[in-house]
């Protein structure tokens, strides 16, 4: 038996599902596994088998059930044969919970049983997803109150920025002092920009002088994708030419495609689908002139950091995820107004000097590498264990 600590990461979603939290866990686990034993405890995605042997860390999965009208599955750890036995064999030293739902609660229970420290990270404003499912603020508030038990009973609670500290304490009524661990990316700047742009131009039949805008993420209404199409319609009505790339998939993909058609934008919008090749995605970021991210749901989205890695500035709506950005310095921020958002896009693209300054500052200020963040995470785990 080695002397490495054993870290258990518990989450209610994982590959082949792709979202920000899944990418955070994978990047944590890959780097932590160089100097610790890492076990990722997650559900199977209903109807989608995945080869977990490709990971440099151990993955234990429980069964799950598909949730209607939702991108996610509902994990069922209590009724999965051998699930508990497999986790017990790992002899975890510390539990890190990445979602407060079924598997997160299971991680909390395991930590209590074995008297080991537990850390819980708040990655997202989950009340917004709950509101969409329940259609009731009263029911949503009750669920949030119940979910907060996982955070209250953890030794330490982490979140991604100061704005999310306010959400946690003011909106979700957490009484402690959260610890901020920012998000990052493993994506590195493209070395041969011209070659990358030519490859993307060829693949998507773009002209070299086309203005290219980009969205990357789940195609879900909660990401404000309808707002984005409304802004594009304004650009077209103003005779402002562009090509818009949507990269991703999700439960509202058909609705988005229909809305694009209804607004006569089919010739201006390219649906790229799901892209898992990180090098290709980096090339797409490099080709884009602007990353358009009007989400008010995200907290410290990985995609805005990925865009910054390629010196592609982002246009935000004022929100939690824009809190680390300074308007007209390292990004662009508008109010939640579609006309203002469209006007900002046109203004930026007409001011080359401003654009170049902000693009360079985005890279300098917002691009963070996972290696640096995960070193902070590992040191924090050791500090918590030493306190115990």
Q: Provide the mean pLDDT of the chain.
A: 95
Q: Are 305 and 314 in contact (CB under 8 A)?
A: no
Q: What is the pLDDT of residues 226-273, one digit of tens each?
A: 999 999 999 999 999 999 999 999 999 999 999 999 999 999 999 999
Q: With 50 as the cut, is the pLDDT of residue 169 above it? A: yes
Q: With 80 as the cut, is the pLDDT of residue 388 above it? A: no
Confidence at residue 49, expressed as pLDDT on a 0 to 100 scale = 83
The stretch 103-125 carries a mean pLDDT of: 97
The stretch 265-290 carries a mean pLDDT of: 97
The stretch 178-199 carries a mean pLDDT of: 97
Confidence at residue 1, expressed as pLDDT on a 0 to 100 scale = 46
Q: Are 328 and 350 in contact (CB under 8 A)?
A: no
Give the separation between CA 227 and CA 16, rounded to whole angstroms.
Answer: 28
Q: With 90 as the cut, is the pLDDT of residue 98 above it? A: yes
The structural domains of the chain, ordered by start, are 6-184+370-387 (3.40.50.2000), 193-366 (3.40.50.2000)
The stretch 188-216 carries a mean pLDDT of: 98
Q: Which of 170, 260, 269 is nearest to 213 (CA)?
A: 269
Of the chain, the percentage scoring pLDDT greater than 90 comes to 90
The stretch 275-289 carries a mean pLDDT of: 97
The stretch 15-26 carries a mean pLDDT of: 94
Confidence of residue 108 (pLDDT cuts 50, 70, 90): very high
Q: Which of 276, 272, 240, 233 is nearest to 253 (CA)?
A: 272
Of the chain, the percentage scoring pLDDT greater than 70 comes to 99
Confidence of residue 3 (pLDDT cuts 50, 70, 90): confident
Q: With 90 as the cut, is the pLDDT of residue 42 above it? A: yes
Tell me the two tokens of residue 21: 């939290």
């Amino acid at each position: 038996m080695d002397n490495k600590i054993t870290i258990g990461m518990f989450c209610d979603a994982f590959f082949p599902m792709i979202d920000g939290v899944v990418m955070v866990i994978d990047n944590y686990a890959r780097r932590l596994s160089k100097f610790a034993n890492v076990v990722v405890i997650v559900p199977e995605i209903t109807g989608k088998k995945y080869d977990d042997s490709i990971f440099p860390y151990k993955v234990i999965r429980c069964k799950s059930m598909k949730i209607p009208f939702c991108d996610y599955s509902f994990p069922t750890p209590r009724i999965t044969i051998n699930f508990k036995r497999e986790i017990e064999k790992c002899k975890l030293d510390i539990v890190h919970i990445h979602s407060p739902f079924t598997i997160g609660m299971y991680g909390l229970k395991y930590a209590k049983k074995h008297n080991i420290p537990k850390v819980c990270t708040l990655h997202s404003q989950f009340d917004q997803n709950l509101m969409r499912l329940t259609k009731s603020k009263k029911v949503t508030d009750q669920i949030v109150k119940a979910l907060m038990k996982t955070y209250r009973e953890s030794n330490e609670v982490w979140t991604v920025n100061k704005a999310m500290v306010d959400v946690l304490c003011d909106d979700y009524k957490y009484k402690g002092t959260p610890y901020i661990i920012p998000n990052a990316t493993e994506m590195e700047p493209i070395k041969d920009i011209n070659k990358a742009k030519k490859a993307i131009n060829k693949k998507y039949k773009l002209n070299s002088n086309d203005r290219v805008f980009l969205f990357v993420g789940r195609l879900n209404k909660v990401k404000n994708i309808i707002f984005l199409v409304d802004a594009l319609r304004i650009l077209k009505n103003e005779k402002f030419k562009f090509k818009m790339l949507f990269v991703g998939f999700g439960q509202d993909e058909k609705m988005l495609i229909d809305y694009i058609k209804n607004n006569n934008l089919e010739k201006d919008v390219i649906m790229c689908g799901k892209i898992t090749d990180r090098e290709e995605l980096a090339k797409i970021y490099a080709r884009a002139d602007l990353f358009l991210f009007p989400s008010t749901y995200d907290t410290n989205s990985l995609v805005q950091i990925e865009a910054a890695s390629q010196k592609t500035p982002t246009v935000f709506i004022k929100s939690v995820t824009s809190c680390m950005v300074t308007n007209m310095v390292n990004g662009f921020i508008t109010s939640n107004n579609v006309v203002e958002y469209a006007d900002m896009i046109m203004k930026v693209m007409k001011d080359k000097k401003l654009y170049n300054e902000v693009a360079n500052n985005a890279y300098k200020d917002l691009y963070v590498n996972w290696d640096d963040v995960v070193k902070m995470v590992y040191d924090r785990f050791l500090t918590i264990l030493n306190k115990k």
